[in-house]
C-alpha cells in the first residue's frame, strides 16, 4: 500500500524528530529524509508531501494525518491511495487511528522498586470524543494526581485488561535466557489474548515498541498461544489514543502498588532508579533485612549491586 499526504511545517518538524533514529543514510531526489519504522517506509519531500509505503502504511499515515489536523487545523488533508477498489478507498478514508484499536503499554520497567504492569485497552469510535474531552495524552505528561483522577473514568468507560508482576516474581523469572524484554513480551501477549474476545470489531492492535517485531515473536516461541498481526510503534503513547489510555491505567495501578509498599514499610518509596532509591533501599535493608528488601526491588538493576557493596562496607 502507498499513501501520500500533504502536511504542514509543524508536522514536518515533529516527524523529523520522531523518525530521527530510523532515518536512512541515502534519500531519494528532492527528499528531506527517508526512514523505516517497522514494516513502513516514510519519505518526506521538499514539496511538503510525505509518502508512506508498506503493509503498515495506512496505520502510520493515519497517525500523522490526525496529528497534522491538530497542528494545522486550517488545512484539509488530501489523501491519495494506491487502491483500485473505490469502496475500499472510502472505507479506509473513514478510519481513524484512534478508533476501534487495541492499544497496549507497560510501566515499572525502569523502576528499582515497584511492579511491572502491562495494560491493553480497546477504544471504540464512540469513545473518541469522550477521550478528547478528557485531553488524554501520554501518561508521562500527567501528574500522579491527574492519573488518579483520569484512570477510574477510563476504566469505567473502556474495555481493558491489566497484569501486575511483582518484583518477587520478576526476580524468579529473570535470568540469562529471560531478560526484561522477554518478560514484557510475555506479559503483553497475555493481556492481548485476554482482551481480544472482549474487543468485538477491533481492526488493529498497537503495542508501544520496546524491541523489534522479530525479537518480540522469538521471545514467545514457547507460548501456547501467540497474538499475531501486531503493529509495533515507537513512542506510541504519544501518537495512539488507545496506547495513551493503556499507559494511564498501567500507571494508575503502579501508583496504587507503590502506595501499598510505602504504607506497609512506613517510608515514601521513590520512583525510578536514582540515588534516592538506593538511599531508601539501604534504609529498608538496615531496618528489615536484606531478604525482605529482595522482595521489593529488581535484583538485576545495578542499584542492587551498589547496595550490596555499601552493606559489605559497613560490616
pLDDT tens digit sequence for 50-78:
999 987 788 788 888 888 888 888 775 44
User: What is the percent of the chain where pLDDT is above 70?
Assistant: 91
Q: What is the pLDDT of residue 314?
A: 65
- Domain 2-94: CATH superfamily is TATA-Binding Protein (3.30.310.10)
What is the arithmetic mean of pLDDT over 291-298?
A: 96
Domain boundary assignment for the chain: 2-94, 101-261
Q: What is the pLDDT of residue 312?
A: 84
CA distances to 168, 192, 298 from 308, in Å = 18, 38, 13
pLDDT class of 91 with cuts at 50, 70, 90: very low
Structure pTM?
0.76
Q: What is the pLDDT of residue 191?
A: 98
Q: How far apart are CA 249 and CA 153, in angstroms?
A: 10
Fold equal for 2-94 and 101-261 = no
Q: How many CA atoms lie within 13 A of 240 on its CB side?
A: 33
Alpha helices in 72-179 (DSSP H): 86-94, 128-133, 144-157, 167-173
User: Domain 101-261 adopts which CATH fold?
Assistant: Nucleotidyltransferase; domain 5 (3.30.420)
What is the arithmetic mean of pLDDT over 84-104?
A: 59
Residue 39 has pLDDT above 80, yes or no: no
Q: How many CA atoms lie within 13 A of 219 on its CB side?
A: 22
DSSP state string for 288-315 = H-HHHHTTTB-TTSHHHHHHHHHHHHH-
Query: pLDDT tens across 138-170, in order?
Result: 677 889 999 999 999 999 999 999 999 999 999
Contacts of the segment 150-153: beta carbons below 8 A, 24+ positions apart: 150/248, 150/252, 151/248, 151/249, 151/251, 151/252, 152/252
Say which residue, 18 or 7, is predicted with more confidence: 7
Amino acid at each position: 500500500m502507498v499513501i501520500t499526504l500533504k502536511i504542514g511545517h509543524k508536522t514536518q518538524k515533529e516527524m523529523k524528530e520522531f523518525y530521527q533514529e530510523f532515518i536512512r543514510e541515502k534519500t531519494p531526489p528532492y527528499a528531506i529524509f527517508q526512514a523505516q519504522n517497522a514494516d513502513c517506509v516514510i519519505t518526506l519531500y521538499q514539496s511538503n508531501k510525505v509518502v508512506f509505503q508498506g503493509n503498515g502504511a495506512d496505520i502510520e499515515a493515519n497517525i500523522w494525518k490526525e496529528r497534522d489536523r491538530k497542528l494545522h487545523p486550517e488545512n484539509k488533508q488530501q489523501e491519495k491511495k494506491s487502491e483500485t477498489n473505490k469502496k475500499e478507498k472510502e472505507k479506509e478514508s473513514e478510519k481513524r487511528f484512534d478508533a476501534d484499536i487495541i492499544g497496549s503499554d507497560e510501566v515499572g520497567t525502569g523502576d528499582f522498586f515497584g511492579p511491572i504492569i502491562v495494560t491493553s485497552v480497546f477504544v471504540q469510535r464512540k469513545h473518541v470524543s469522550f477521550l478528547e474531552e478528557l485531553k488524554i495524552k501520554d501518561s508521562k505528561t500527567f501528574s500522579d494526581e491527574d492519573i488518579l483522577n483520569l484512570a477510574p473514568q477510563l476504566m469505567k468507560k473502556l474495555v481493558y485488561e491489566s497484569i501486575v508482576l511483582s518484583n518477587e516474581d520478576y526476580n524468579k523469572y529473570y535470568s540469562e535466557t529471560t531478560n526484561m524484554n522477554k518478560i514484557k513480551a510475555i506479559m503483553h501477549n497475555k493481556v492481548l489474548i485476554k482482551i481480544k474476545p472482549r474487543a468485538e470489531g477491533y481492526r488493529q492492535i498497537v503495542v508501544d515498541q520496546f524491541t523489534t517485531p522479530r525479537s518480540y515473536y522469538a521471545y514467545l516461541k514457547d507460548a501456547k498461544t501467540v497474538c499475531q498481526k501486531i503493529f509495533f510503534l515507537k513512542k506510541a503513547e504519544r501518537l495512539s489514543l488507545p496506547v495513551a489510555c493503556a499507559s494511564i491505567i498501567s500507571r494508575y495501578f503502579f501508583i496504587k502498588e507503590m502506595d501499598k509498599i510505602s504504607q506497609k514499610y512506613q517510608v515514601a518509596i521513590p520512583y525510578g532508579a536514582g540515588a534516592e532509591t538506593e538511599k531508601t533501599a539501604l534504609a529498608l535493608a538496615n531496618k528489615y533485612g536484606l531478604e525482605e528488601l529482595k522482595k521489593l526491588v529488581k535484583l538485576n538493576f545495578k542499584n542492587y549491586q551498589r547496595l550490596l557493596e555499601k552493606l559489605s562496607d559497613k560490616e
